[in-house]
Chain A
């Protein structure tokens, strides 16, 4: 099984901050990585797929990068609507999610 490890688990930030979340795979997944945003009581929402492709309708302040085993999700200027939990997902071999990174208000 491919394991996905996210860091940090929790992040405190302010509106306007640049936020970076990291996801590490236990083995190479090339660029088969997606990022999801989830708010309490809601379904996850797809943000990024194939490491850096922005899903239609997702604001351009979200960006993804990386390949192999190291990946990042960057929010260039945090907005009030962005306080949520973020999950990475590998889809190189079946699917595995990271444990989540919660972005809280500082």
Chain B
């Protein structure tokens, strides 16, 4: 069974760096054509794609956020980590990680999401 689980702080202060971890189960990021994306959703608003990392360590970032984002993977732990610097209250959102298979090109399995609030 494919599952993804996001973890990280529920509350961060403005200007701090957010670090989120996505733990994968039922599949491996060392398998060819497997990728993981991060997507966020502010309360009551639409989805916003953030970043993606591929099995071969290729990385892609949202052009509007690329200066603040870093995505990495730890294959031995089957985890993907996203860091976002200089957090602001507008970054308050539920953050999702999701599996992407290049065979279909889109995110087919999602984690439940983790709500991050940015407030002093």
Contact = CB atoms under 8 A, between A and B. Distances in A.
B49 A43 contact: no
A8 interface: no
Given A43-B96, A43-B111, A43-B112, A98 B106 contact: no
Given A43-B112, A46-B108, A94 B47 contact: no
Interface string B79-117: 000000000000000001010000011111011110000
B106 to A, nearest CB: 4
A91 B46 contact: no
Contact of B46 (A1, A32, A46, A87): A87
B47 A97 contact: yes
Contacts of B96: 43-44
B26 interface: no
Q: From DSSP, what is the main secondary structure of chain B's interface residues?
A: loop
Contacts of A74: none
B46 A98 contact: yes
A22 to B, nearest CB: 16
Contact of B108 (A1, A55, A91, A100): A55
B32 interface: no
Contacts of A14: none
B25 interface: no
